[in-house]
Amino acid sequence: MSVSRLSALMLIPGLLLANSAQALDIVFDYRFDRSGWFSEDSSAGLMRREVLQQAASVFSGFTDNLLAIDASAGNSWSVSFQHPSWSNWLEQVTVSNLLVPENSLVVFVGASSFSGSVLGAAGGGNVSAQGSQAFLDTVAGRGQAGALAAVPTDVAPWGGSIWFNSYQPWYIGLDDSGLAAGQPDLLTTATHEIAHLLGFGASAAWDALVQNGVFTGEYASAVYGSAVPVDGVAAHWAYGVEADNLMDPGTVPGKREYLSALDYAALRDIGWQVSAVPEPSTLSMLLLGLVGVFARWRRKQSQRF
Ligand SMILES: [Zn+2]
């Protein structure tokens, strides 16, 4: 990474935050980290937590007002999702009446070892709720009217889960100067997975803008010059759309990648409010692994609500 690009990386989140009415807060929950990959008792675990916080900060310029999901007498909800430290791919866990603070997403994280090239996976699980119509609307829409529309124009996730493949030889630094050839970068993958939890390639609002293999959102189309080709499962950009997009289907080992102007524009298209849109040349943050399959799985699950 060049020096100029690094400074842009550090600058953008703060710039966006300064103009925000409030900042989107991503709250990591480690209760299902049963392998201790994020253990506070180890320097590596602490560093991994720091890397996650850095990835979350990329999205702090999103200014949507998200209502809290707060169960009460007569109103309850639960969500079942892939265990973030799964011992088999289908292992699920259910959490009931999770408190999701306003303007926050709760993201359960963990890791387990899988001898394959997949770096990580993210999903929003299968939500169910019972109670008043107002409560049901809050769980599904969090005050974002467009998320409740027949053809959704907005997203309002509660959060989700992210699994990291501890089999991989991760680089876990904040500064990428130690990132070696062939090494996957935790910051890059974490940012990519969070973007999926925000609905990139994995929401009804995204689906509504995908037609015939292209993403038709107006902001993304303006950045790209036309509707943007997506991959075979419409969870990412197609390979080769542009170099350096974080939301490509795969990541290049030994390279840190950042949210591109195009990635950012697509998040705007699915309803995220951004107080300032970085110039394409200065965009920062993110990216990732072979997570398309799981992203699609999440879409199917989430639509059962
Ligand atoms: Zn992905």
The C-alpha atoms of residue 116 and residue 119 are separated, in whole angstroms, by 8
CA of 129 from ligand 1 middle (Å) equals 28
What pTM was estimated for this model as a whole?
0.85
189 Cα–ligand 1 center, Å: 9
- CB contact at 8 A, 230 and 262: no
What is the Å distance from ligand 1's center to 251 Cα?
A: 9
Please count the structural domains in the chain. Answer: 1
Nearest-angstrom CA–CA distance, 49 and 56: 11
CA of 288 to the centre of ligand 1 (A): 6
* Residue with the larger pLDDT of the pair 298 and 218: 218
Tell me if 206 sits within 8 A of 85, measured CB to CB: no
Average pLDDT for residues 190-200, to the nearest whole number?
97
Q: Where are the alpha helices (DSSP H) in 40-126?
A: 43-57
Task: State which residues form the domain around 254.
Answer: 3-302
SS3 breakdown of the chain: % helix, strand, coil, rounded to 5?
A: 30, 20, 50
> 195 CA distance to ligand 1 centroid (A)?
8
Which of these, 105, 130, 139, 121, lies nearest to 299 by C-alpha position? Answer: 121
CB 39 within 8 A of CB 75: no
Do 200 and 206 touch, CB atoms closer than 8 A?
yes
pLDDT in tens, 73-108: 999 999 999 999 999 999 999 999 999 999 999 999
Mean pLDDT over each residue of the chain, to the nearest integer: 86
Cα of 155 vs centre of ligand 1, distance in Å, is 17
CB atoms within 5 A of ion ligand 1 belong to 291
- Residue 183 Cα distances to 84, 169, 188, angstroms: 22, 6, 11
Ligand 1 centre to CA of 296 (Å) is 10
What's the pLDDT score for residue 276? 55
